[in-house]
Amino acid sequence: MFTAVLRRRALQSTNLPFQFARCYAAKSYPPHSVVSMPALSPTMTSGNIGQWQKKAGDAIVPGDVLVEIETDKAQMDFEFQEEGVLAKILKDSGSKDIAVGNPIAVMIEEGEDASAFADFTIEDAGGQSAPAAPKEEASESKESAPAAPKPAPTPAAEE
């Protein structure tokens, strides 16, 4: 029993740095946290931004609905569990197919300067501005591949 407690504490202490996404950018932005697209279900890999319930500059308290997230199965409210100020929205309402973990907004602490994030981009947050375009080679190889022959029709069974 005692070793299980020690093991749990060791795991908790090693995971601690990954629980907080506090960023310090090279362009001298104030300390901030990047809000990523949440996984609202175990099978969710991407989602769409519905309607933002807060706008840049709004104060957020734990339990506030930040944004509506649309998945392939449902539309859910994303309740934020920390307090702060929404500094910048990186993905506008109606944005489609945003991978889980990609940045959608920037939060700062109360009293920090939100106007400093006016030129903050998704690249500054460590995300991609647009999904990678599919390679053209794959579509060309499909066109040049010969079509599979159709199976011969089978005669109807006589009764």
Is 60 exceeded by the pLDDT of residue 70?
A: yes
Q: Is 25 exposed, middle or buried (0-12, 13-18, 19+ CB in 10 A)?
A: middle
Please report the sign of the dihedral spanned by the C-alpha atoms of residue 91, residue 92, residue 98, residue 100. positive
Tokens of 129: 């501005």
Strands 75-79 and 59-60: unpaired
* pLDDT digit string, tens, across residues 108-117: 998 888 888 8
Does residue 6 sit in helix, strand or coil? helix
pTM assigned to the model: 0.61
Q: How far apart are the first and last CA of the chain?
A: 72
What is the residue extent of each domain of the chain? 19-143
pLDDT tens for residues 14-48?
433 333 344 444 567 778 889 999 998 888 999 99
Tens-place pLDDT, residues 92-138: 999 999 999 999 999 999 888 888 888 888 887 776 554 444 444 44
- CATH ID of 19-143, from 3.40.50.300, 3.30.565.10, 2.40.50.100, 3.10.150.10: 2.40.50.100
Residue 117 DSSP label: G
